[in-house]
Structure formats: structure tokens, C-alpha cells
A and B are shown apart, each in its own frame.
Chain A
């Protein structure tokens, strides 16, 4: 698997990337999202966090840790690969699948919060909604993202946003996380 998560597979070598979020910014954003989730769900009794691979999974687990820290509750966190549900399969080569790991309690009747690193066109979120629907019937589905970079192509919005970053459609947003990249940063 490539070491970089981005919103555009890029020729990254020659692009001088600018750091837009540092490690402590990411930590603060995740802490705030965890608080917002707790506030809006009244303590998250039926919450399930599902990260979208690759980096959404690490973010989902970090949110679960923060929620456990703040509220003392254990929230199930897992991963949901949406590759098989993408709408661009026919225009790109078939690609490797990532792990799907649904918490044992499933999604039926749960409040599922999908977690991803970057929200861009909204097509990944759409695929994730289809994937969740195949797994069961959640009570509600919400979306949490670390970065919203705009340029939606579908009527989709995030319920929890770490940071809105204005971008050009041609920009590359790279999210680095310690779990995968050895450091935390968001680069533009």
C-alpha cells in the first residue's frame, strides 16, 4: 500500500507542500469532534464509529479513545472498505481491497458515524452509505471528517468537521498520521 493518503494521487515529489495543520491542531480538532459527538448524541449510548480506509480507520480509533477519555464509555470502532461500492470502478483499473472490520454488535439500530480524513467530491461518502446499508439498518448515519476541502459533486455534507480548508480542485491535500506515516500533519 502506498504511504500517502491524499485527495488526488499525485506526482508529489516535485510539489512543495505547505503544512496547514500540525500535530497539535489535529489533536485539538479530534478532541472537539469527540466532544461534539458526545454532545449531539447525549453521551453516545448506541454509537458505532466506522473509519473508511486507509486513514479514516486510524481517526475512528483515535476518536473512540478521546470519547473513552472524556466520558468513560467504550465506543465500538471498526473499518469499512468502500472499494466495491465506488462509482468510478469502470473508469479506473481494479484496485486492491482494504480491510472491513465491523464491530461484533453490528450496525442495526446504532448511530453510525463514518469517519474519513478528507471530504472532497463526496463520492467516497456516497459509496460508504451504500456499504452501510448492505450491512444493516442503522438508526442514523453521520459523517465526521478531519478536513473538508470543498468541491462537492453530490448533495453530501459532514456532520463533524475538523477543519475547513479552502482549496483549488487541482490542489492535493495530504493527511499524514502517526499510525501510517510516523507523524501527524495535513499538507496542502
Chain B
């Protein structure tokens, strides 16, 4: 007999865990290869099935410490990460910082050093500055895994993963599926992460927005651009609405909310233009009557509530794959983070 035989009881080889992985953070949806993304979605699928069983907690992350470091207000993302970590038996600490009281760079560094000194395994960070998660991961302050839970208008990778998961559960394979994202693309980290991930998974993304709410250089993104929602809807498998982020808008990007909603709100008439199988999604918080009509948000096509419950499964999968083993099971390389 030749060849190094490893003494082990493992039933299968390390499926989905290619050797020599370096990435231990999740900072950008664009860092994920197709194989990584599918591994996360498949893992979430198994975890979602477990949620139907009487099992309340899995012992997998017992003794690991996950810190939710939120510099911005959040309901669903923070609660979702907390529930996901607790379902895996991790200990969860919530740290909320008020960005108004301290200068951002100093505060993030000091907080990071404090957390490191206490011995954390993962930091889930939301921050009002684009790139904060990347800085936290690479400034040399901490050795924990860093998961980006939203950095200003840059990225929100777990939201994109749960959205892709929701689409896959409803529509099957995403290859060739047409996803239309309408609304404030300029300020939307969700739109950016979704465009990156959906492109990786083979879907065709079209963004629809007033020209003022499209980022400069959108033509170089892997998505199509339209200004006419009515024309795009009949060809859409998914319509994804995002909220105009009024709290971030010093200048007016559109004349009035009323005019905005006349052109870009998914109302009942527009929803009827969709093909019969199409689904309606929104990342929340919803401004009913602005980006989506209440009747559509609560209608039979809407999967908005499913998005929230799927979020827990996705975050469990990400925490398990990053922290569950001796090294992460997916290899997000961070050079693409921008």
C-alpha cells in the first residue's frame, strides 16, 4: 500500500472544502466564486430543512464568540445574525456604537482592539463608511473573521446570498434568470452585492432607476440599465424593489417622492405586467406607497417575508462555514473588494 492514508472516521472527503484556503472573511459578494456561493446556498438549504425539525440548537459553534458590531441602526440584519449564531450555540455580544460621538477611524480601531483583547472569533460589522469592514479585516487590529453586514453604499453580501437563496428556492437554477432591480441603485449596497452575486450565479440583472440614482460607471457593471420599468417587467422573473435612501440624501436626487413613485413604484398595474411565475422581492425596510404598493408587498407574488426567514439560514451557513472548522470552507479572496 502506498500513499498517505489518513486515520479518520470521516465518511466522505472534504466535499466543498478545497485545500489551502486563505480567506476567512466575507466582505464582498464579488469575492465569492460560483462554487463558494453554491456551497453556501446548499448549506443554507440543509439548515433550513433542519429548522422544520424540533431541533432548536446545533452544538457546532459552542464556545465561539460572535460580536455584532453595529454602528448603524438595523432591525432584521442584527437580529438575524444573532439568531443564526445562537442557533449554532455561539455566544453573541451586541455592540452598538453611535458614530456621531467619536471620529470614525479612531473609534473603529479602539473598538476592534478591545474586542480582540476579549477574544472574539467573528465580528459582524455594519458601519456608515464604505470599506469599514475591509479596513477592520486587514488593518491588523484583529485576528477574528470579519463579516460585512453593510458598509454604507458599498456592500451587504449576506443580503445578496439570502436573496439568491430565496430566488433559487422559488425559481430553481438561476442561470439565465432575469432579475430587475428598481430604485436607488446609487446608494444601495444591496443592489451592488446582488448584481455581483447574481452575475456569478449566471442570472441576468437589469437595473431601473432615474439617472440621478445610478452610480457613475454603471455601464462597466455586469448589468443592463433601463429607465422604463413598464418595458422591463414583462421579461422579468424577479422584480426587486429598493428604498430611496432619503436619510442619506443631502441633495435632492428626484423632485418629489410622488413623482418618483409615479415612475418607479411597483404598483398593482405594474405588477400585472409581470409573467405569471415572477416573484416580488424587497430588502426592507419598505416604504409602502413609495417603492412598492402595499397590495403588491402583501400579494401572492411577494416573497418578502420568506427573505427574512431565509436570512437566518444563510447567516447560519456563513457562520458555520467560516467558523465551524479549523479553517473556512470557502475561499473569499478580498482583492476584489472596492
**Set of chain B residues within 8 Å of A95, measured between Cβ atoms:** 12, 14-17, 325, 329
Chain B contact residues: over half helix, strand or loop, or mixed? loop
Query: How far is A44 from B204 in the complex, measured between Cα atoms in Å?
Result: 53
- 1/0 per residue, CB under 8 A from B, across A89-119: the answer is 1111111111111100010000000001100
Whether the pair A89, B9 counts as a contact (CB closer than 8 A) is: no
Q: Which residue of B lies closest to A9 (CB)?
A: B13
Whether the pair B21, A93 counts as a contact (CB closer than 8 A) is: yes
Query: How far is A11 from B4 in the complex, measured between Cα atoms in Å?
Result: 7
Q: Which of B253-309 contact A (CB under 8 A)?
A: none
Q: How far is the CB of B122 from chain A (nearest CB, A)?
A: 13
Whether the pair B15, A94 counts as a contact (CB closer than 8 A) is: no
Q: Which of B1-17 contact A (CB under 8 A)?
A: 1-17
The answer, yes or no, to whether B324 is at the interface (CB within 8 Å) is yes
Whether the pair A9, B326 counts as a contact (CB closer than 8 A) is: no
Whether the pair B13, A4 counts as a contact (CB closer than 8 A) is: yes
Q: How far is the CB of B46 from chain A (nearest CB, A)?
A: 4
Whether the pair A99, B46 counts as a contact (CB closer than 8 A) is: yes
Whether the pair B53, A170 counts as a contact (CB closer than 8 A) is: no
**Set of chain B residues within 8 Å of A48, measured between Cβ atoms:** none
Whether the pair A94, B11 counts as a contact (CB closer than 8 A) is: no
Q: A99-B46, A134-B55 are in contact. Are A172 and B5 (CB under 8 A)?
A: yes
Whether the pair A94, B329 counts as a contact (CB closer than 8 A) is: yes
The answer, yes or no, to whether B47 is at the interface (CB within 8 Å) is yes
The answer, yes or no, to whether A23 is at the interface (CB within 8 Å) is no
Q: Which of B11, B13, B323, B324 contacts A52 (CB 8 A)?
A: B11
Query: How far is A12 from B4 in the complex, measured between Cα atoms in Å?
Result: 10
Q: Which of A15, A91, A92, A134 contacts B3 (CB 8 A)?
A: A15
Query: How far is A9 from B58 in the complex, measured between Cα atoms in Å?
Result: 26
The answer, yes or no, to whether A32 is at the interface (CB within 8 Å) is no
Q: A95-B325, A96-B16 are in contact. Are A120 and B54 (CB under 8 A)?
A: no
Q: Which of B4, B11, B321 contacts A124 (CB 8 A)?
A: B11
Whether the pair A100, B321 counts as a contact (CB closer than 8 A) is: no
Whether the pair B9, A135 counts as a contact (CB closer than 8 A) is: no
Whether the pair B46, A93 counts as a contact (CB closer than 8 A) is: no
Q: How far is the CB of A42 from chain B (nearest CB, A)?
A: 28
Whether the pair B14, A89 counts as a contact (CB closer than 8 A) is: no
The answer, yes or no, to whether B333 is at the interface (CB within 8 Å) is no
Query: How far is A11 from B1 in the complex, measured between Cα atoms in Å?
Result: 10
Whether the pair A93, B7 counts as a contact (CB closer than 8 A) is: no
Q: A81-B46, A130-B59, A135-B55 are in contact. Are A93 and B329 (CB under 8 A)?
A: yes
Whether the pair A102, B326 counts as a contact (CB closer than 8 A) is: no
Q: A15-B1, A136-B54 are in contact. Are A93 and B320 (CB under 8 A)?
A: no
The answer, yes or no, to whether A158 is at the interface (CB within 8 Å) is no
The answer, yes or no, to whether A169 is at the interface (CB within 8 Å) is yes
Q: Which of A15, A81, A99, A169 contacts B7 (CB 8 A)?
A: A169
Q: Which of A5, A11, A12, A135 contacts B12 (CB 8 A)?
A: A5
Query: How far is A101 from B46 in the complex, measured between Cα atoms in Å?
Result: 10
Whether the pair A84, B14 counts as a contact (CB closer than 8 A) is: no
Q: Which residue of A lies closest to B322 (CB)?
A: A94
Query: How far is A171 from B21 in the complex, measured between Cα atoms in Å?
Result: 28
Q: How far is the CB of B250 from chain A (nearest CB, A)?
A: 44
The winner among A92, A116, A120 for most chain B CB atoms within 10 A is: A92
Whether the pair A97, B43 counts as a contact (CB closer than 8 A) is: yes
Query: How far is A141 from B58 in the complex, measured between Cα atoms in Å?
Result: 20
Whether the pair A123, B15 counts as a contact (CB closer than 8 A) is: no
Q: Which of A1-41 contact B (CB under 8 A)?
A: 1-2, 4-5, 7-15
Q: Which of A53, A94, A123 contacts B325 (CB 8 A)?
A: A94
Whether the pair A96, B17 counts as a contact (CB closer than 8 A) is: yes
**Set of chain A residues within 8 Å of B50, measured between Cβ atoms:** 100
Whether the pair B13, A2 counts as a contact (CB closer than 8 A) is: yes
Whether the pair A5, B325 counts as a contact (CB closer than 8 A) is: no
Given contacts A5-B12, A100-B46, 17 further A-B contacts (CB under 8 A): A1-B15, A2-B13, A10-B3, A53-B12, A81-B46, A85-B59, A89-B325, A93-B325, A93-B328, A94-B321, A94-B323, A95-B17, A95-B329, A96-B15, A97-B43, A170-B5, A170-B7
Q: List 5 A-B contacts (CB under 8 A).
A: A2-B12, A10-B5, A15-B1, A84-B320, A95-B16
Residues of A within 8 A of B (CB): 1-2, 4-5, 7-15, 52-56, 81, 84-85, 88-102, 106, 116-117, 120-124, 130, 134-136, 169-172
Across chains A and B, which 7 residue pairs bring their CB atoms closest together, nearest first?
A: A11-B3, A94-B325, A96-B16, A94-B329, A94-B324, A97-B46, A93-B17
